[in-house]
Structure 1
Amino acid sequence: MSSELLTERRDTTLVLTLRGAANRNSLSAQACAAGIEAINNAADEPGVHCIVLHGDGAHFCAGADPHALGHDEAGPGGFEAAFDGLIDVMRSSPKPVIAAVEGHAVDAGFVLALACDVVIAADDACFSWTQPQAAAALTLQLPRPLAMQLLWLTEALSARRLHGMGLANEVVPPGEALAEALRWGRKLAGVPADRIAAAKEWFRSRS
């Protein structure tokens, strides 16, 4: 069964939950398309100040659902086009997007977390890359020496190592990533929307 993306409002934060327990929340094209729609809608909703993305249960996202690869359920381009579209709307949205990472963030799940504006990771979270044939997305996100290490050795990175490199904002006890992300959402609700949007656009224009 393919994963799905659930949406829920918590005060001024839109929570997006990737759910697919049978495949550790692997991404399907349908879930990507649902994320694109939800984030685009949030951009025009004045009551939404922040978006939080997390995985249901013990893991964030185990990458692309192998059953989705090569299928055209999301239209031309299939999964790859849908995933690229999701990353693009996350970066271009004027609203801040926060990743709440528990457990594994693998391949496309790793890229998805790093594409967020803020990363909150559980202390036992790990980030890994196992697909050297699709390196472009990872090399755009990470310093070259680290990207090469991951692509060659496929070693997992701990949350604390990512934090030490400035790629994660906070490391929290296991099970607390979503709660901390929601606290960030409440703090960001007090920041002028134009300041947040301008900062995101500045970084996007230089990526």
Structure 2
Amino acid sequence: MTLARIEDAGDRLIVWNMNAARRGALSVELYEVITEACARAAAEPRLRSVILASEGGYFCAGGDMNTLITRRALTEAERIVKIGELQDVARAIRACPVPVIAAVQGGAAGAGLSLALACDLIVAEAGASFVAAYVRIGLVPDGGMTAFAAQALPRQLVTEMCLLGRPVGVDRMAALGVVSVVAAEGAALAEAQALADAFAKGPRDSRAAIKALIGSAYGDEHDQLEAERAAMARAQGGDEAGEGIQAFLDKRKPSFP
């Protein structure tokens, strides 16, 4: 089964997350196609933007729980390598010379939120929610979420999202400027396409330089990405994650010590 693909739409690439059965949960295939799309956008002058979209009505539910279960059997060093795959996707999005637009249906959770925040612009449908769900299952944010959220949101809201795991609605995110367009239900991709139309013409090199300057204005994200990776590798092997992940799979509330 194909879990992700790239659609070539002339002056833009659309990366499709096709893991609808798991609400767009992350997959190795998705990592690969996002990285490929960003590399193609850097190499092909005709390409002016990249859109991340999903099938099934939900942008991305974050890490696949079955994958997280298997991670617990790995050594911490092995987990660090695996977690680095997601960090590299975030780096690819940030380094991509053309704007990367997230078209969010339903919502973005956990590493799916990290993925959305890594993008340059977010379009989200009315009713969508954003949740840093890691703490609910005894894990910590990764994929650059703490770095990107700290750049985009007030410290107290980042704390609320990460320590309490509370969903934040699209209207609140739009009021804070994180969501650029609130789309009608079913119209996230169309609104993302409209943004891509604005990038279809004009100075590609100038925009690439502007994107790089905006990125450097917030400082080097490398250290924070590495800190997240180390913390997640430890957390995935911990007792709290063991209970939290199993409780999620059992559809019950976790019982943390």
TM-based fold match above 0.5: yes
Whose Rg is larger?
2
1:150 maps to: 161
What stretches of structure 2 of length at least 5 have no aligned partner? Answer: 219-257
- CA, structure 1 residues 21+79, in 2 after alignment: closer, same or farther (shift >3 Å)? farther
**Rounded Cα–Cα distance in structure 1 between residues aligned with 2:35 and 2:104:** 20
- Once the two structures are superposed, residues 33-86 of structure 1 have per-residue CA deviations (whole angstroms, 9 ceiling, x without a partner) of 2311221122101221110001112100000112334299xx985541111111
1:198 CA drift (Å): 0.9
1:176 to 150, 163, 187: 187
- Once the two structures are superposed, residues 135-167 of structure 1 have per-residue CA deviations (whole angstroms, 9 ceiling, x without a partner) of 363322223211111122211111111010010
**Rounded Cα–Cα distance in structure 1 between residues aligned with 2:202 and 2:174:** 24
**Rounded Cα–Cα distance in structure 2 between residues aligned with 1:112 and 1:67:** 20
Q: How many residues align?
A: 204
Q: Which has the higher helix share?
A: 2
2:250 maps to: none
1:118 maps to: 121
- Aligned with 1:134: secondary structure? coil
**Rounded Cα–Cα distance in structure 1 between residues aligned with 2:54 and 2:81:** 22
Contact preservation (8 Å) 1:28, 1:79: no
RMSD of aligned alpha carbons: 2.0
2:96 maps to: 93
- Of 179-188 and 32-41, more deviation after overlay is shown by 32-41
2:148 to 141, 159, 162: 141
Contact preservation (8 Å) 2:3, 2:30: yes
What stretches of structure 1 of length at least 5 have no aligned partner? Answer: none
Q: Which has the higher strand share?
A: 1
- CA, structure 1 residues 34+67, in 2 after alignment: closer, same or farther (shift >3 Å)? farther
1:47 maps to: 46
Structure 1 length as normaliser, TM-score? 0.91
Letter in 2 for 1:19: M
1:195 to 160, 183, 206: 206
